[in-house]
Amino acid sequence: MSTLKERQHDRTLLEKMIANAIQVDTELAHELLEDYILQQQIKRNQERLKARKLSSQTMQEFNKKMEQKAIQENIERIIEYSDEEYQEETPLHYPKYLNVREVSLYKGITPQQVRRNCINGKYQAEQVAGENSSWRILAEQFKEENDFLDFIQQRSEKFKKVSKASQVAVELWKEAQNEIHVDQEEQ
């Protein structure tokens, strides 16, 4: 089994390869890779579950179990543990761009005001696919502001929580499926 340092080194090399291949900065390559890895993990887990050919009754039983308060408390505790582990192993990455919603939250203004500021040139921004598309707002212009680092840390923590929560949910679901399968075999 590889060490954390080896895994980080491998990931860093891969991020650099991606950045060079598609001509983006390493921060964006990092985000793209994280998203792709998560998609692949979900895809693999779905394929494993399809191979088991679970009945709809089994799925309904599982969903009922997952709604129980004790299970929800355990899920929250596991997410908190995994958040702590994840925070220790991953450095903070500044995004290259923010979307309208993120700038709205950061600045405390409405999304419409953010769009107007983009149109008027107050924010360095570009529209992704033409006149009526969404805006990409350059994050670098906010780096000098005092509370920007706090905002980025909160944003990063939210992404980590969502990522870890989905991984934990899939793991718990697989465990519950195994238990249900064993219970059915015993009957």
Residue 121, number of CB atoms within 10 A of its CB: 8
What is the arrangement of strands in the sheet containing 135-138, beginning at the earlier edge strand? Answer: 97-98, 135-138, 125-127
Locate tokens 């590889």: which residue? Answer: 2
Q: pLDDT (tens digit, 0 to 9) for every residue of the chain, 187 residues total?
A: 556 667 777 878 888 888 888 888 878 888 888 888 878 887 787 777 777 777 778 777 877 777 777 777 777 777 776 655 555 544 567 789 999 999 999 999 999 999 999 999 999 999 987 777 889 999 999 988 888 888 888 888 877 777 777 777 778 887 777 777 666 666 6
- 49-62 in b/e form (b: 16+ CB < 10 A) is eeeeeeeeebeebb
